[in-house]
Structure 1
Amino acid sequence: MSGRTARGYGAALAVAALLLSAACSATPKDDTGAAPAAGRTIRPVDGCGTSSWTDPADLSADRAPARCAPHTPAAHPLSRTRKLTIATGTLSAEYVAPLEVALDKGEFKAEGLDVTLKVLPTPDALPLLAKGDIDALWAAPEAAVMNGIKGGFDIRWVAGNFSPDPKSKSGLWVRLKKGETAAGVKLAGRSLGTMIGKGSVIAYPMQKALAGHGGGLDRIQYRQLGSADVLTALRNGGVDSAWLLDPVWRKVDGEPGYAFLGGQPLGEPLGGMLYGRTLLRDDVDAGVALLRAYIRTVDTYFAADYKQNETFVTYLAKLLKTDESVLKSTPPLRMDWEIREGTTNRLQSAYATQGATEGSPVPENRVVDRAYYEEAVGHTPGP
């Protein structure tokens, strides 16, 4: 085992231990798997009609994401101000933009929420979420989350974040050998460069992309690299393939000798908002209010192709502290607060193949809680 790999496994074990410790001191979870926000009264919401909810079983790539009218659902301020801390791995990535816009435009404040966005890597944030030291995490249901839930802690994925635009080529790229074509690429035994190690949600789309090219998550050689090194390694032959994120893939798009093999499935968010004990058990009202502000922000500022609005792109680049030309160089994200049916099962299948999780998968009803966003938009779920 390499030093880098050993350190990765050591970090994963440390996170698991911290989660287990936090779970032991936390409020006991509901062993029935019942959604913590279930059973509350749901009322119709002005501006949120039939288009504000889509069937979770709809996995079609061209599914239109749920939307309410701009500036809806309207704010319903809480009786007293709640201070909430949301952890996120970065404040410069485009997928965090709805949270930063909601904060900057006063959407959280309108709900009676005093929100702080705190930059923390997911491995550091998970134990804090488990103990109630932070209230929410803007991340993804990665293998560490599944292992934490198995260990007894009540963490729920309560809202999605985005799915890619069909024009996006963020994903798996390969450097073609002489005479090789994209259709004929065989990746078994070849190396993959990625800045994200085993147990990340990209394992699922990577598994799909590899399956069509004679590979598999257990049949490739991983090379975990720094963000600045992934593209360099692909170009100089250090790795045979690489998972390239926005906007890095634009550097090889259209160049001879490189091929895009696939990315995140269209119409299927793989991350978003995770709640811990505070918003799941202690203060569900604040949990619903937080998603109401998030959804209203998406409906008002990110409903369609927000990059067509030059003024907004300039504003967004300044807010994210990123170069405006870089922001314009990639297609817009399809902001989507809903969670698809079966996503957590597909993720866990990939984690198990990588060896990042063991044992039976966690049932979806112990990972996902759609009741928060359903209440926010006034949708009453069927029996």
Structure 2
Amino acid sequence: MVVAGCGSSEDDGSASPATTTSEDTAAADTTAPDTGDRETDDTTASTAPATSQPVDGEAADDPACAPLAEPASIKISALQLLPYLPVHIAEHLGYFDEEGIDLTIENLRSSEALPLLGQGDIDYMIAPVSAQLFNAIDAGVELRWASPLNTANPESMNGLWVKAELFPPEEDEFDWTKMKGRTMVSSTGHGGVLTYVAGPHMLEAGMSIDDITALAMPSADLIVALENGSVDMAWAPSPFWERLVGNPDFRFVEGFPPEPASDIGIIAGPSMSDRPEVAAAFFRALMRAIEDNLQGGDYLEDEASRQLIAEAVGLEEADLDVEAPNLFDPRLDPGDLEAFTRNQQVMIDLGSLLEYDEPIPVEDLVDLRGLDAARECLS
């Protein structure tokens, strides 16, 4: 696995991994194939079954479903965290090689990756949608949402947690007016997940973005800030929320909406706008890796799978002790794309987040050509 960059490991999603060095990466790559026939040792064979097959014989014979005739290079920003797992697994086990893609993974936070994406220095970034993304598109930067990556686990309590003194046990619903003049924190601050999860409730309570202070800090630090009383509410990503479960000083308020467009997704830069066949090959590799290795929510229970995942992502096995891991759909179903319109409208209504007054049409925000072509090819 090629891991470049030195960005912080904290972002919306998961635990901070051990740093992966180039020597570690080279060692990990010794298990990856050099050709289209994946070979694994005994510890990984059970987690890398045969490649998923096309839908039917007609699709199998379709030249559009064949690996790229000419190898193509792709650079993607994907943190070494569990929500980004499909990209790391697909690279580690040679799925991208099979499709003719030379993949480089940059370990960058979304705030670092976004300008590089707009400049064409990287081709994809993995991140939740944000006000920064919407504003860049409105300014004419050719960025497009290209695919979902994971979906919320209904058993997870990855989301907003608040001091119990503001949400006592006898209350069934949180009174958002109690947040006036108080501080919320996430790894992205204003304009990200805090906004489109908390935003609708704030608007119902007659609040604006000016009624709260929203801060950004690394995921591990924001839990400490909540525990020591420095902030009143925090977005606790996996697995950090598990530290709060059972603690009477805090209560869970709400998690991600059950719609792929509001969770972590894959954003394409201008360098991918005229390479739909390369995008299709990229998504075929990703979908097959999910189908073969990450089905359901029990992929962290098998010891061989845990070893494979820890090696592929550059994590310690202790980082994989997650009660409700991220879920990955092998079809990468984009779901209800009108979520983008709703999220923009919330940001507009809250004020001071977007630099425009009307939501950007969905067709100007997304480019599903590569994903749609891959979905047609694969079962």
- Specify the code of the residue in structure 1 equivalent to 2:366: V
**Which sits farther off after the overlay, 360-369 or 179-188?**
179-188
Cα 1:225–1:100 shift into 2, 3 Å: closer
Root mean square deviation, CA, Å:
2.6
Greater CA drift, 165-174 or 334-343:
334-343
Cα separation, partners in 2 of 1:275 and 1:175, compared to 1, 3 Å: same
Do the aligned partners of residues 159 and 233 (structure 1) sit closer, same or farther apart at CA in structure 2, a change above 3 Å counting? same
Q: Give the TM-score, by structure 2 length.
A: 0.74
Q: Give, in whole Å, the separation in 1 of the partners of 2:307 and 2:322.
A: 13
Hey, what's the Cα distance between the residues in 1 that align with 2:302 and 2:174? 40
* 1:124 corresponds to: 112
TM-score by length of 1: 0.73
- Aligned pair count reads 309
CA contact (8 A) 1:157 1:272 kept: yes
1:347 matched to 2:343: yes
The AA in structure 2 aligned to 1:338 is: D
Residue 54 (structure 1) aligns with: none
Residue 223 of structure 2 is aligned with which of 226, 231, 250?
231
Q: Percent identity?
A: 27
Change (3 A) 1:116 1:160: same
SS of the equivalent of 1:318 reads: helix
For the Cα contact (< 8 Å) 1:77–1:110, is it kept in 2? yes
Partner Cα distance (2:313, 2:365) in 1: 30
In the alignment, which of 138, 143, 147 is matched to residue 135 of structure 2? 147
Counterpart of 1:368? Answer: 366
Q: What is the CA distance between 1:313 and its match in structure 2? A: 2.0
1:329 counterpart (314, 322, 325): 322
Matches within 5 A, 1:5-16: none
> What is the SS of the residue equivalent to 1:198?
coil
- C-alpha distance in structure 2 between counterparts of 1:179 and 1:122, whole Å: 32
Per-residue CA distance 1:298-353 (angstroms, 9 max, x = gap)? 11111212223332123212322323233122312111322222121122123322
Q: How big is each residue's C-alpha offset from its partner over 1:57-97, in whole Å with a ceiling of 9 and x where there is no partner?
A: xxxxxxxxxxxx96245772111111111123x22x10111
1:97-246 equivalences under 5 Å are 97-177=85-165, 180-181=168-169, 182-183=171-172, 185-186=174-175, 187-189=178-180, 190-208=182-200, 217-246=209-238
User: CA–CA distance in 1 between the matches of 2:252 and 2:206?
Assistant: 15
Structure 2 CA distance, aligned partners of 1:193 and 1:148? Answer: 23
Which consecutive residues of structure 1, in runs of 5 or more, have no partner in the other structure?
Answer: 1-68
Mapped partners of 1:178, 1:107: distance in 2: 49
Contact kept in structure 1, 2:277 and 2:370, CA below 8 Å: no
Distance in structure 2 (CA, Å) of the matches to 1:346 and 1:77: 38
Q: Is the 8 A contact 1:159 1:272 kept in 2?
A: yes
Answer yes or no: is the 8 Å Cα contact 1:199–1:354 preserved in 2. no
- For residues 378 and 184 of structure 1, the distance between their equivalents in structure 2, rounded to whole angstroms, comes to 44
In structure 1, what is the equivalent of residue 18 of structure 2? none
